[in-house]
Amino acid sequence: MKLYYLPGACSLADHIVLEWIGQPYETYRVAREELGSPEYLRINPSGAVPALQEDDGWVLTENAAILNYLADKFPEAKLGGDGSLRGRAEANRWLAYINSDLHPLYKPVFRPDRFIEDEAAQETLRRNAVLRLRGYYERLDAQLVGKDWLAGSRSFVDPYLFVVNRWAIAKGVDLDGLDQLTRFQQRMLEDVGVKAAMQQESL
């Protein structure tokens, strides 16, 4: 099993999950210039990470699919919720929230030039996206009140939250007063699996 990743990108969530699972895996660090190469586009036609390749050559892309696949492939790691139908639904609820609402809002933050040519407009777009992100983190913070893990028990969504929290800090999203998120992030930073994945990605 091989994970294709870019350091600190959303693929770090899968990397941490692989560490938590504790079974052998390989990684391939994709260079930014490689994303659009014919070789990499055969792995992921979207030219993005993550991609997970099984030993027989089968490739799975899309973070939500990969995280669910890993949880099902290694049920003993208990990363798909608390084992109940509703627990799995909760893990997927928060995965969908981060993957399909919050994460796309970072696209104009990281690459405003992909949306608009004018440089002043790019800065306005970037700033507005950063301001808008605050509301998404407020909801995540509220969800963590009285909980150590986003879905109640530790699941595949927690490493994804860790990743987008790192982005918030790096890009100046206002996280003031969001104490649950700070507490969560601190605990994750002390986690052995998180540390191992970050070290492998030179973060």
State the Rg of the chain over Cα: 17
CB of 18 to ligand GSH, least distance (A): 15
Q: Does 63 bind ligand GSH (CB under 6 A)?
A: yes
Residue from 35, 59, 105, 196 touching ligand GSH (CB under 6 A): that is 35
Give the chain's end-to-end CA distance (angstroms, integer): 22
Nearest residue to ligand GSH, using CB? Answer: 48
Residue from 53, 68, 92, 99 touching ligand GSH (CB under 6 A): that is 99
Q: Are 23 and 71 in contact (CB under 8 A)?
A: no
CB of 84 to ligand GSH, least distance (A): 26
Q: Does 16 bind ligand GSH (CB under 6 A)?
A: no
CB of 50 to ligand GSH, least distance (A): 6
Q: Are 165 and 13 in contact (CB under 8 A)?
A: no
Residue from 3, 4, 9, 160 touching ligand GSH (CB under 6 A): that is 9
User: How many C-beta atoms surround the C-beta of residue 46 within 10 A?
Assistant: 11
Q: Does 49 bind ligand GSH (CB under 6 A)?
A: yes
Q: Does 10 bind ligand GSH (CB under 6 A)?
A: yes
**Per-residue contact string for residues 156-185; x = within reach of ligand GSH by CB under 6 A:** ------------------------------
Spatial distance between the Cα atoms of 4 and 27, rounded to a whole number of angstroms? 6
Measured at the alpha carbon of residue 92, what is the angle toward residues 65 and 144, in degrees to the nearest 5? 135
Q: Which residues contact 126 (CB under 8 A, 6 or more apart)?
A: 108, 109, 112
| Runs of H (alpha helix) within the chain | 11-21, 38-43, 63-73, 85-96, 103-105, 107-110, 119-143, 157-171, 179-189, 192-200
Candidate segments 3-11, 72-80, 117-125, 179-187, binder of ligand GSH by CB under 6 A: 3-11
Q: Does 197 bind ligand GSH (CB under 6 A)?
A: no
Return residues touching ligand GSH (CB under 6 A). Answer: 6, 9-10, 35, 48-50, 62-63, 99
